[in-house]
Structure formats: structure tokens, C-alpha cells
Amino acid sequence: MNGIDMSLVDWSRGMFALTAMYHWIFVPLTLGLSFIVAIMETKYVRTGNEEWKRITKFWMTLFGINFAIGVSTGIILEFEFGTNWSNYSWFVGDIFGAPLAVEGIMAFFLESTFIAVMFFGWNKVSKKFHLLSTWLVAVGSNLSALWILVANAWMQNPVGMEFNPDTARNEMINFWEILLSPVAIHKFLHTISSGYVVSALFVTGVSAWFLLKKRHIMVARKSMHIAAVFGLLSAIFIAINGDSSATYVAKYQPMKLAAMEGLYQGSEGAPLVLIGILNHDKEPGDDSEDYVFALKIPKLLSFLGYKDFNAFVPGINDLVYGNKKQGIIPSEEKMATGKKAIRALAEYKAAKKNNNMAEAVKQLEIFKDNYKYFGYGFLPDKKSTIPNISLTFYSFHIMVGLGFFFIFLFALILWLLRKGTIEKKRPALRLAILSIPLGYLASQLGWVVAEVGRQPWTIQDILPTMVSTSHLSTGNVQITFWLFLILFTTLLIAEIKIMLRQIKIGPKGLDESKKERR
Amino acid sequence: MSLKKITSLYIDGFKNMGRLGKKLWLIILIKLFIMFAILKLFFFKDFLSTKFSSEEEKSNYVIEVITTNKNPEK
């Protein structure tokens, strides 16, 4: 596209990815640890056992560190919408504004109010009110995630809106259709439960470190038990939820599904790649093999995508070049339709400016008839509909592999706890510690699949990324990119240092009067 | 909970805060200062609002950009 500076687009994307990924380092622990702490405090209130209070306070302190350092890192993303993605921000209109406004209000009232009771209210309010506050912080944190995820899901599957050609904005016509869209519900549940797994791995790993060091053994065992149950249930839920999410990806983003599987040539009864290495010389439309090596499960991709073992799953070639037999339109045809819509929008605006209402009505009809593929009209060639295959494929397969590994790990930990031999199984304890970064890795890769896999779109089929950016100078974006990198890296180092110090102090440091039971 | 109790919850909470709490609040305040007083003010101005004052001007600009694929200012 002659008018678009691709280096500007790439730097803007890079900056957004950087800030979103850093933000997502802090969020998962807030989402899950808040619930783990609430469960621990419930144990304390129900049993009256002071040991549980000590455990709750210790993990609450770690929650507080993460919350304090991570809080408002997401605001940077909102800054970027207005500065770097102004075309996009204008185009999406109130679709984005309403959920984010609700998020702001909910986050402020639920989190900010009850978090004060959580930390300051131990001797000020009743046990039950304190417990209620802790649960409300957990629910509030998770509900704030709902709204931003609803907005993100809308970009992947734009429903409940209508484009207004006079204002160039999308206008919400059905709030409930946006909120209750199956894509939004699945995205929300998948994302928050990934946060629960990250948190469960964190608690399990820190407890494993205590056990390895033979410190705070009762605290570690009790914490590990709660975290492993919470983590196992969440990891199993993610696997089930991921399976149903595949149905919606197949329906609304078939190119993303093809990229996730590195599938070039579609087929009926398509297999699922369990482990594979892509053929990196492969080009769309050529006859070379898709994989250098692949271990496949027959027909499983068809079942996951369409709940039918013999269903046709379109590959990248089918989606780019079309497949008449399966009724798939070639990308070039969609591009022609999109160009018609763009032209009609320009003509419509010109006709209105010249008070030629008959022409305006005619162009508006043409625009509406072709709007479905509006975004394709901006694409320079048919192959630009293909996302980065390697990044999407490997991210997806590593994420899924890690997901199943976490189920195994939590089950193993629970089994060893039940047998009462966990302290002696040092390799298992080391594995639990090493799994803390793996949880973060899996969670980040999930976002890579979701966001890289949906390229070239910011709004599926409607607005490509390359048209969404503001016309800034690339140099300005580069400066802010490096500023953010410094700021977020400093915050991350601060978090790790403070967190490690507090873990070393352990629960003992919070209540010296209590003798550690071993 | 009365207003007095709520106020004392916050006042006593901040008064009796330990070293860790104070350190975290310091980090929060420095971070918010950097974000709002430096980044937002100097680096993250709202692109459309800095160039246009009315909604109509903004929409005309965006339509021109997306229909011509060119920066209308150049």
C-alpha cells in the first residue's frame, strides 16, 4: 500500500505487544492468587486455626506486592489506543469505550475499596466482613478482566454493532450480543483460568522451595495442597474450554486455525498435529510437504473444529485461493468486494458533501452490500491474509503441551502429598519450582496465538492492522518503545527483588510470636 | 460501617504501615507520576484531539485516511 509506512506499523505493533506482554506478567497472578488467598482465609474463618491466618497473610503479602507493581500498567495500553492507533480507536467507537468504562468503575469500586479492608482491616472489622472483602477483591479483579476481554473478543468476532458511514464509527446496537457472544465468554473463561494455573504454579513452586530448604513445612504443605487442587481443576477446565474455543476459531477465524496447525491443504477428516516441525521452505500454493516431521492424531482436528470426525477443515491454500467444492471464496474475490466498499464510502461522502442525495443513497447501498469484506479492500495482495505461521504454530503447540504437563504436575503433587512423601521427592519439588516460569510462558504464548494468529486484522475482516495506526513518525514510536522497555523492565526487576526478599523472610517474618511447627 | 470507622480504617492503616507497604506505595506513586506527568503529557497525546477540535473533523479525517490510504496532511 503506497500510503502506508510499514516500519511505523511494525514499531506500533511491537510497542503494543511489548506493553501488553509486560502487563500480562502481572495480571495472571492477581487473578488467581486473589482466589487462592480467599480460599485460605475461608479455611481460617471456618476452622478458627491461627495457622491458616498466618498462611493467608503470607500469600496476601505476595499478592499485594504483585498488585502494587502491576496496578495501572494496563493504562499504558489505553494511552496507545489514542496515540498510536487513532484510526482504529475512532473506527471501533463506543464498542471499546463502554466495556472499558465499566471496567474502570468496577475496578475502582470493588478492588480499591475492598483491598483496603483486606490489608488494613484485620483487627478493625469482623472476621466474616474481612473474608467477604477478600472474596470481593478476587471477584472484582476477575470482573475487571471481563470487560477488556469482551472488547478483545469483539475484535476477533465483531457482533452487536453497526458501522455508521457518516461518522466512520461503529455504533453499539446490542450490548448483550457483545457481552454474551460465545467468543467473549470462552475467551474470558480461558484467560482467567490460565491466570489461575499461573498462580497455582507460583504457590506450588514457592511452597516446594520451602520444602527443599526444610523451612515452614506445615505452611508449605497446606499451601501446596490448596494450590495443587485449584491448579488441577483450572488446568483441566482450560483443556475442556480450549476444545470448545476451537469450534469458534474454526467458525469465525478459519485462517487462524489453519495457522495454529500449519495446515496448508485442507481435507475431510483432518488430523491434529501432536508434535511437529514445520517445513520452513513451504510456500502457499506449492506442492512441498507441510512438515519436516509430524506426529498426528487422525481426524481429531475435524472433530475439535466442527465436532464431526469427517468434517472438512480448510487449509491456508483453500482460504487464499478458494475452494469451490467447499464454497470457500478466494481472497482476491474478497479483496475486490472490499475495494468496492471502500470506493463506495468515498463516493458516498463526496455525494453528501455536494448535496447529491440520490447518488449518496446509491453509494450507501453499494457500501452496505460489500461491507462484509471491507477490510480485504486494504490488503496489498492475497498472501497478506496469512499470519505468521511458524510463530502461531509453535506457540500453540508449546502452550498445549505445557497445559497437559501442568495437569500431570498438579496430579503428581497431590498424589505425593496424599502419600505424605512430598518432602523426600526432591526432583518433584525442583520440577515444581522450575514450572513457575513455564506457567508464565504458556500464558504469554496463549496471547501470541490469539493476537499473531488473527493478523492481518485488528477487527476481523473489517479493519487491517496496517490501516489502524496513526500517522506518526516512526522515530517517535521508537523512542516510546525504548522508554516503555526501560520502565517495565525496572518494574519487573523491582517485583522480582521484593517478592524474593519477602519469600525468603517467609510467613515467620509476619508473625514472630508464633513458633513454627515442623 | 460508619463513615468515622471507614476513615479510621484508612488513617490507621496508613499510619501503621510497615516498611514493605511504604516501599510499595512509593513505587506506585513514582510509577503513576511517570505515566501521567511524563508519558501521557509529553509522549501520549490523543492523536486526533491534538489535530481536530470537533467530532466531524475527526470523522472526516479518518474517512479520508481509510479511503485514500494516504496521510491527508502530507
Nearest Cβ partner for A120 among B9, B48, B71: B9
What is the tens place of the pLDDT at every residue in A403-452? 999 999 999 999 999 999 999 999 999 999 999 999 999 999 999 999 99
Sign, CA torsion B38/B41/B42/B44: positive
| List of E strands, A298-421 | 312-313
The closest alpha carbon to A406, from A434, A374, A385, belongs to A434
Question: B48, B37 in Cβ contact below 8 A?
Answer: no
* Nearest CA-CA distance, residue A381 and chain B, Å: 15
Interface test with B, best of A120, A473, A495, A496 (most B CBs within 10 A): A120
Report the amino acid identity of residue A383.
K
CB contact under 8 A, B1 and A125: yes
CB contact under 8 A, B58 and A479: no
CB contact under 8 A, B65 and A471: yes
Phi, psi of A159 (to 5 degrees): -130, 165
CB contact under 8 A, B35 and A471: no
Report the amino acid identity of residue A189.
L
In angstroms, the CA A118 to CA A30 distance is 14
CB contact under 8 A, A480 and B5: no
CB contact under 8 A, B9 and A71: no
Burial class (CB in 10 A: 0-12, 13-18, 19+), A410: buried
Residue A43: helix, strand or coil by DSSP? helix
Place of cell 504483585: A66
Interface test with B, best of A2, A111, A124 (most B CBs within 10 A): A124
Q: What is the pTM of this model?
A: 0.91
| Among chain A residues, CA nearest to B8 | A124
Question: Could you count the other beta carbons within 10 Å of the beta carbon of residue A18?
Answer: 16
CB proximity A91 to B under 8 Å: yes
Give the pLDDT score at A420: 92
* Nearest CA-CA distance, residue A258 and chain B, Å: 29
pLDDT category at B40 given cuts 50, 70, 90 is confident
C-alpha gyration radius of chain A: 25
What is the tens place of the pLDDT at every residue in B11-37? 888 888 888 999 999 988 998 888 888
C-alpha gyration radius of chain B: 23
CA angle A318, A323, A326 (to 5 degrees): 110
Domain boundaries, chain B: 18-68
Sign, CA torsion A410/A415/A421/A424: negative
Beta pairing, strands A312-313 & A457-459: unpaired
Task: Show the cell assigned to A493.
Answer: 526487576
In angstroms, the CA A189 to CA A212 distance is 34
**Stretch (H or E) spanning A209:** helix A182-212
Q: DSSP labels for A421-472?
A: -GGG-HHHHHHHHHHHHHHHHHHHHHHHHHHHTTTTEEETTTEEHHHHS---
Question: Could you count the other beta carbons within 10 Å of the beta carbon of residue A260?
Answer: 24
Sign, CA torsion B24/B30/A100/A448: negative
Residues 6 or more apart whose Cβ sits within 8 Å of residue A238: A190, A193, A194, A197, A403
Chain A with chain B: Cβ pairs closer than 8 A: 124
The number of helix segments (H) and strand segments (E) in chain A equals 19, 8
Burial state string for B10-37 with b = 16 or more CB within 10 A and e = fewer than 16: eeebeeeeeebbeebeebeeebeeebee
Give the pLDDT score at B65: 86
| List of E strands, A59-199 | 161-164, 169-172
**Sites in chain A below the pLDDT cut of 70:** 1-4, 96-101, 103-104, 106-108, 508-518
**Stretch (H or E) spanning A272:** strand A272-278
In angstroms, the CA A473 to CA A450 distance is 28
CB contact under 8 A, A498 and B20: yes
Give the pLDDT score at A373: 95
